Structure 1
Amino acid sequence: MAQQAYVTETDNGGSGPERRASRLRRLATGFLDGWRGDPRVWRRGIVLAVLALLLALVMLLHSHIPNRIGNLGSLTETFLPWLGLAIPVLLVLGLVRKSATALIAVLLPSIVWLNLFGGLLTDKSGGGGDLVVATHNVNADNPDPSGTARDVASSGADVLALEELKASAVPVYEKALASTYKYHSVQGTVGLWSKYPLSGARAVDIKLGWTRAMRATVATPKGPVAVYVAHMPSVRVKMEAGFTARQRDTSADALGEAIADETVKQVVLLGDLNGTMNDRALNAVTSQMRSTQGAAGSGFGFSWPASFPMARIDQIMVKGIEPESSWTLPRTGSDHLPVAARVKVTTSATGS
């Protein structure tokens, strides 16, 4: 017996799947008909093609943009991922202009952007790790330091770094965190709280004239880990001077030297570096450490400003330690989001 195919009849007598396929074919044919036989599809959109090429070059050669004028290179690198927003705009304009040249040119910045940031679009977090670390710039003008302390403590972090601690607020943080963290040390405007014993806590000179960085050794169950806490000087965007960051850059070099001289094999850096991993000014630090967000995070992990995060300037970086996962924490009373990571401490690397 011959098989008979059945389809669902629509109100007007045609089959549903066939009508939808036919409609799509007509739309595609109508769209292409507007391009076929039009010799201007290659001549139109030259300006759009040039803009697409320039966008690709800026992203590809960002490290060669000079900092001599207003630190333009660092400014570009701070917000480099956001340049990708120009790609769909150019794509739409190319379609509107019916320009084959523009559409082909848009492929260039698309490929460059995906090469730079495509890996951040996937979730690389794992389920391992034996130490949770977190860092938070609490903001000196935080209206609720006690609530902020409770919020970050509830993250489950074993080791917690706080930056921009106002002297009058330090007792508030100490009281709020005392029940969760048995050990802590505050050096200047930065502090470190830990569930495990601390030793060798001291200030780190980052060439500011006052203390905004420290280090301590945390005695984890797997062995010692050197933990650095740092708050780099702020950068400013000024009409007359551009992106001013000279003091931040000097401090980054000093911090990089201190970490390079560290004798403990496993190192964690927690803090507000006032710069992203793309910023060449932080090379003294980023060249020797890995970002937990880049290695084991999901998404870009933007942390500032908290109201509409546009850049990840709050960093967790590791050296000699394997990052397992990295994430941002819910907003507190600060203008920064807290960030956290789970890392794996290696027992065999406990030498100092």
Structure 2
Amino acid sequence: MSGTPSREPRETTLTTILDASSAPPEPAGTRRTHHAGIWRRGRIAALLAPLTTLVMLGHALVPDRAGHLGSLTETFLPWTGLVVPLLLVCAAVRRSATAAAAVLLPALVWGLLHGGTLTDKQTSGGDLTVVTHNVNEHNPRPGHTARALAASDADVVALEELGDSSVYEKALAADYPYHSVRDTVGLWSRYPLTDTRTVDIAPWPRALRATVRTPEGPIAVYVAHLLSVRFSPTRGFGTDARDRAAGRLAAALRAEPLPRALLVGDLNGTTDDGALSALTSPMHSAQETAGAGFGLTWPAAFPLARIDHILLRGVEARSAWTLPATDSDHLPVAASLRL
């Protein structure tokens, strides 16, 4: 009858409960096998973790003979940190406790090596602001780039890869009455320039040296554009010409009589690159000591490496930063210094 409630659902439920209570318990060995499996899985990911750590710690030992692999590795060294989240994803997908534990090692090492770079070390108190920029000789709007640099309110502006320097001379003349150009590199200053000369680092002028007569005393400023790094499928990552130019520039800096000196420009390499140690070891980077983050400069559309630098000797950096993109393929970099 329609008025009589059906008892079928209750009977089904009771049957299910009785069946479940009478089912044999899961063997203890099955649980032990499951727990052991999370340690046996993901061995490949677990192996990649210490290998990544070795690259982080031993990058200076990566040979440069085979296509200059060492310089290539050191140029993009901070990006080795991306391996950490990738390995964590692999550990999660494989449900591997071994891989998850192993990834702690490269995470810790990367943090020790590069974590301090991410902190904000900028302070006030500078009395000289310096800007350097590879303006790109094929820049479609050099006048626009020059006006952007003038608006930075820097005291000294160094430019590399100049095409038609007259465009920059005209745009910067009002704010920077003193300037010197040597072929594709130039220096503009609010303060008088003396002892200006070309620094011989390549078959054609790619570096200059000048004394900037600041109110706090003289300082030697070197503007340099080291030779470009080329990649060839047969020869690999070619840095020989750049490295030779760096050696000549390092010799000039060692012979510099003034105790306060700056090296600014496009070095076509990072401070991690051991091939540039002759330049970077005697001097220190404004970005590393007084910046916030890596300050990547190239390529401007999606910066991957900091190859544009402000290096110091006998001068204290108070803050360092990158400026907004211009029409160049590099970002300008700036630093406030205390003399």
Q: Which residue of 1 aligns with 2:45?
A: 48
Q: Which one of 245, 267, 289 corresponds to residue 251 of structure 1?
A: 245
Q: Which residue of 1 aligns with 2:332?
A: 338
CA distance in 2, matches of 1:59, 1:251: 27
CA distance in 2, matches of 1:245, 1:145: 29
Q: 1:221 to 1:64 in 2, by over 3 A?
A: same
Letter in 2 for 1:176: A
Q: Which residue of 2 aligns with 1:27?
A: none
Aligned length: 309
Question: How far off its partner does 1:42 sit?
Answer: 1.4
Q: Which one of 212, 216, 221 corresponds to residue 210 of structure 2?
A: 216
CA distance in 1, matches of 2:257, 2:33: 69
Residue 169 (structure 2) pairs with residue 174 (structure 1): yes
Letter in 1 for 2:108: I
Which stretches in structure 2 are left out of the alignment for 5+ residues? 1-30
Question: How far off its partner does 1:37 sit?
Answer: 5.8
CA distance in 1, matches of 2:189, 2:92: 56
TM-score, normalising length: structure 1: 0.86
Letter in 1 for 2:107: S
CA distance in 2, matches of 1:35, 1:212: 69
Question: How far off its partner does 1:198 sit?
Answer: 0.5
Q: 1:176 to 1:103 in 2, by over 3 A?
A: same
Any idea what SS the aligned residue of 1:42 has? helix
Q: Which residue of 2 aligns with 1:98?
A: 95
Letter in 1 for 2:79: W
Any idea what SS the aligned residue of 1:332 has? coil
CA distance in 2, matches of 1:244, 1:170: 29
Any idea what SS the aligned residue of 1:38 has? helix
Question: How far off its partner does 1:35 sit?
Answer: 10
Q: Which residue of 1 aligns with 2:235?
A: 241
Runs of 4+ that moved beyond 3 A: 34-37
CA distance in 2, matches of 1:35, 1:191: 72
Q: Which residue of 1 aligns with 2:145?
A: 148
Residue 120 (structure 2) pairs with residue 123 (structure 1): yes
Letter in 2 for 1:47: I
Q: Which residue of 2 aligns with 1:274?
A: 268
Q: 1:40 to 1:322 in 2, by over 3 A?
A: same
CA distance in 2, matches of 1:183, 1:117: 39
CA distance in 2, matches of 1:106, 1:212: 45
Q: Which residue of 1 aligns with 2:181?
A: 186
Percent of aligned positions that are identical: 58
| 1:279-298 correspondence runs (5 A) | 279-298=273-292
Q: Which residue of 2 aligns with 1:133?
A: 130
CA distance in 2, matches of 1:74, 1:112: 20
Any idea what SS the aligned residue of 1:249 has? helix
CA distance in 1, matches of 2:231, 2:117: 27
CA distance in 1, matches of 2:250, 2:109: 29
* Bigger-Rg structure (1/2): 2
Determine if contact 1:123/1:298 at 8 Å carries over to the other structure: yes
CA distance in 2, matches of 1:181, 1:144: 20
CA distance in 2, matches of 1:123, 1:36: 49
| 1:18-33 correspondence runs (5 A) | none
Any idea what SS the aligned residue of 1:255 has? helix
Q: 1:59 to 1:264 in 2, by over 3 A?
A: same
Q: 1:98 to 1:316 in 2, by over 3 A?
A: same
Question: How far off its partner does 1:96 sit?
Answer: 2.0
Any idea what SS the aligned residue of 1:133 has? strand
CA displacement 1:146-189 (0-9 Å, x = unmatched): 111010111111000000112xx111110000001010000121
Determine if contact 1:35/1:98 at 8 Å carries over to the other structure: no
Determine if contact 1:228/1:268 at 8 Å carries over to the other structure: yes
Any idea what SS the aligned residue of 1:335 has? coil
Q: Which residue of 1 aligns with 2:82?
A: 85
TM-score, normalising length: structure 2: 0.89
Any idea what SS the aligned residue of 2:336 has? strand
Q: Which one of 283, 291, 294 corresponds to residue 300 of structure 1?
A: 294
Q: Which residue of 2 aligns with 1:62?
A: 59
Letter in 2 for 1:98: R
Question: How far off its partner does 1:296 sit?
Answer: 0.4
CA distance in 2, matches of 1:35, 1:335: 58
Q: Which residue of 2 aligns with 1:316?
A: 310
